[in-house]
Each structure stands twice: as structure tokens, then as C-alpha cells.
Chains A and B, each alone.
Chain A
Amino acid sequence: MSILFYDHLVDKTEVLLFIDHLPEPENHKGKLRQLVDDIIHQGLIEYILQKLHPHQHHTFLTRLEAAPYDPELLSYLKDHISPEFESELQKEAAKLISIIKKDLSTPL
């Protein structure tokens, strides 16, 4: 079971390994990891809200707030957006990861 309902669709391994290997203090690395998590979360929620009818935004966000782990959230999205939405969300997560990787390798 995922901590957040979409966790199993997001592969952050590469990004996290990169951060782990930075010769930085642990608190600095922690901040980077948190930013990665926030970006993916905001990106995916924004993507979901874009796809979901505005009438259903409140219900979805209420349910997310009540039970962030609940696999039923994904069922709700599949029912109201498309049966293939799980793979669409996975693709969106991959896009976000690749954006993060570019950001991480941006030189000064």
C-alpha cells in the first residue's frame, strides 16, 4: 500500500540516488528531497485537477485530505476521467521526474 495513493506510479529512485551522492550536509539533502516530493505532488494534483471536471474537484480533494493512501482515489479518477488514467498519471509523473532531473543538472 502506498503512503500517497499515487506513490507506486512514481519512480524517484534516480533523482534520490543523485541527491544521496551529493557531498552536502544531510539537512541540505533533506531539503532537496522535500522539494522533489513537493514538486511531484503539486504537479500530479494539478494534472488531476486539469483532467477532472471542476464539479468533482472538491470531492476529490476532500477524499485526498481524509485518506491520502486510499487506492479508491485512483478508482475515483478512473471512473470520472478515464479507465486508463492510472497509466496517464504514471506518464505525467515520469515527465515531472525528467523536469526535475533537468533542474538538478542546471549549472549556475
Chain B
Amino acid sequence: MDTPALASSALGALQRRKELLNQKLLKHKAARSFFGKASLIAYDLRQKSTRLLAGAGLTGALLLSPMALPALTGQTTRVVKTETTAAVLMRTLAPITPHTPAKLEEDQAKKIESAIYAATGLPAKMVLEGQQLNHQVGYIGYEQHLRRFPGDTLLEHDDEQIAGIAPGLGAWGYFTRSKSEFTTQDYLREKWYSVAQTLYLPNWNTDFVHLRDWYKYRKILVVNPANGTAVVTVLGDAGPAKWTGKQFGGSPETMKALNLHKGPRKGLVLFLFLDDPENLIPLGPVTHAITPEVARRDSSGVSVIQHKINP
């Protein structure tokens, strides 16, 4: 094969292909305004994505993401099978998580935090900035949707409408002052909210103003150790009441992601703070992560992640 000639013809052919696809893409009205800004081209998006994820300490996961490598050019390629994040979390957390509501002991918490970090790369903490909940293991219940702004209705919530909408407001009030000020951040906060019994904290009444501000939309990792599913949430409400026998609550979408939305709609979970001062960890289910098996394949990649998350 005459590769130099091929390379120059390939360049021309690929450029023509790109122009063709671009014309096709710009036939969509919405695409014209977005791609006109050039902010949605692959290169820019990759740069932006890498920047955001680097901030969240997840770039190592990108570098280590497993790829299916077909043997194409006669080269031998070894495909390394990896467990899913959920499988790793289930395997590592199930044997060390108490199966009853509990405030973790320090050494228990360290083991659990390490297991979560090894499986997901997420810096989950029992104690953060001196704050600690009364439980880190407890029963979570299925909550209703919360009103995000005055006039919000159930029909405007795009998922799990079966849950209904709470008649009252969450502990922090509306997520935003009006529909016109409603942002994607507000939408995601309601979609992925969790509930903890902050009202029963020993110093809640004496230090209310500080604690309210500290806990409002505090990022929480909820893990179901029985199946390894994990969801990044924010604290969106206070509760449930002690008499319910539950320690935490989850939005309908959170409970669905944890596979606790059927039957008794309740289950035992781990509930830990996420150390994310720059608010870079995205809300929602944790589906992709660094598995120990992948991590072991490249120690240099692992050290990059550790430096970023645990400086």
C-alpha cells in the first residue's frame, strides 16, 4: 500500500466527509445556534470535559477507561475484563457495612471510605469540616418530589411522577425563587436530593444558622451495599421523623437509581459526605469509575488520581 499517497488522499476524503456531516447537522435549527458558537465541536468539548473532570479528580479514570481492542493489524491485543463499579462496591462494602442503622466507628469508616475511593475515586467522608451525621448507615425511604419554585406542579417533573409531590416545602424552601430563575442546577438538585435527620443533631438548635447553611445542598454519596449502586445527591430536606424507623430519605429518582423504588421502597444504605469544595462532582448515579483491577494496570495513572483527590 502506498501510504504517503494514501495519507494525503485520506486527509482530503476525511475533510470532505466532515463538511458533508456538518451541512447535515446544521439543517437542525437548534444545532445552528450551538455549533455556530463553535463551543460544541468535539475538540472544545473534550478540553472542557477534561478540565471539569480533572477538577473533580476523575481524569485518571478517563485515562484508564477500559476499551475493547479488536485485533486488526495482526497485533496481539490483551483485553482486560473489569468489574462494574457496582459490582466492586457490592463486593467490597457488603462484608464491612453493618446491617443495622449505625454511627460508624472511626476504623470502620476508614475502611468504608477507602473501599469507596478504590471503587469510584470519590472522596466520601464520615466527618467533613468537623460535621458528622447521627448515622452513616441507616434505612432510606422513598420521598415525594419537592416543589422547586412557586407554582411548580407534579407534571413539570420529568420522571417518577408516580411518587407525587410533597404538599409542603423542603427544609430549605423552594430551590429557586421563581420559574424564570429556575436553572439546570436547581433541576438536578431536586432530581437527586437526599434527606438526613439534621434536626436531631445535638447542636442543631444552638448552632442553627451555621448548621443550616453548612448542610443546605451538602453533597452526599448514597450507596446501597446490597447491590453496589451509588448516587451522588445533595441534601434537599430534613427528616424523616424518628418514629418512622428510617434515618434518611431519597428523591424518587435517587431511590430508583438505588433500586429501592419497589415493594417497601426502603432499604439500608451508606450515607456519607462528599468532599467536593469546588462543586465539581456531577449529581446522579455513579456509573463509571476506577476499578481496582484497572487501577492496578497503571500505577502512574493511579498516583495522578490520588494526588488530585488526596493532596
A positions within 8 Å CB-CB of B? 1-4, 7-8, 11, 13-14, 17-18, 21-24, 28, 31-32, 34-43, 45-46, 49-50, 54, 57-58, 61-72, 75, 79, 99-100, 103-108
**A65-B34, A75-B284, A100-B17 given. 6 additional CB < 8 A pairs?**
A13-B72, A23-B3, A24-B7, A46-B31, A49-B28, A65-B39
Tally of chain B residues near chain A (CB < 8 A): 56
Q: How far is the CB of B64 from chain A (nearest CB, A)?
A: 10
11 contacts between A and B (CB under 8 A): A1-B62, A18-B73, A35-B15, A41-B45, A42-B25, A46-B28, A49-B28, A68-B45, A68-B46, A106-B13, A107-B9
- The CA-CA distance from A64 to B43 in the complex, in Å, is 13
Q: Which of B48-56, B134-142, B217-225 contacts A (4 or more CB under 8 A)?
A: B48-56
Q: Which residue of B lies closest to A3 (CB)?
A: B49
Neighbouring B residues of A8 by C-beta, 8 Å:
65, 288
**Contact of B288 with A1 in the complex, beta carbons under 8 Å:** yes
- The CA-CA distance from A25 to B7 in the complex, in Å, is 11
Q: Which residue of A lies closest to B42 (CB)?
A: A41
Q: How far is the CB of B199 from chain A (nearest CB, A)?
A: 31
Question: Is B5 engaged at the interface, CB distance under 8 Å to the other chain?
Answer: yes
- The CA-CA distance from A2 to B48 in the complex, in Å, is 13
Question: Is B40 engaged at the interface, CB distance under 8 Å to the other chain?
Answer: yes
Neighbouring A residues of B4 by C-beta, 8 Å:
23-24
Q: Which residue of B lies closest to A56 (CB)?
A: B30
**Contact of B69 with A13 in the complex, beta carbons under 8 Å:** yes
Return the 4 tightest CB-CB contacts between A and B, nearest first: A57-B30, A41-B42, A1-B288, A103-B13
Q: Which residue of A lies closest to B68 (CB)?
A: A11
Neighbouring B residues of A3 by C-beta, 8 Å:
46, 49-50, 53, 62
- The CA-CA distance from A75 to B68 in the complex, in Å, is 22
Given the known interface contacts A67-B52, A106-B10, the answer about A2 and B69 at a Cβ–Cβ threshold of 8 Å is no
Neighbouring A residues of B15 by C-beta, 8 Å:
35
Q: How far is the CB of A37 from chain B (nearest CB, A)?
A: 5
Q: Which residue of B lies closest to A69 (CB)?
A: B49
Question: Is B184 engaged at the interface, CB distance under 8 Å to the other chain?
Answer: yes
Partner of B65, one of A2, A66, A67, A72: A2
**Contact of A40 with B282 in the complex, beta carbons under 8 Å:** no
Question: Is B75 engaged at the interface, CB distance under 8 Å to the other chain?
Answer: yes
Interface readout for B1-35 with A: 1 if CB under 8 Å, 0 if not?
Answer: 00111111111011111100110110011110010
Question: Is B162 engaged at the interface, CB distance under 8 Å to the other chain?
Answer: no
- The CA-CA distance from A96 to B69 in the complex, in Å, is 17
Question: Is B70 engaged at the interface, CB distance under 8 Å to the other chain?
Answer: yes
**Contact of B72 with A32 in the complex, beta carbons under 8 Å:** no
Partner of A107, one of B6, B58, B62: B6
- The CA-CA distance from A23 to B3 in the complex, in Å, is 7
Question: Is B159 engaged at the interface, CB distance under 8 Å to the other chain?
Answer: yes
Partner of B184, one of A62, A104, A106: A62
**Contact of A14 with B72 in the complex, beta carbons under 8 Å:** yes
Q: Which residue of A lies closest to B41 (CB)?
A: A38
Neighbouring B residues of A21 by C-beta, 8 Å:
3, 73
Neighbouring B residues of A7 by C-beta, 8 Å:
65
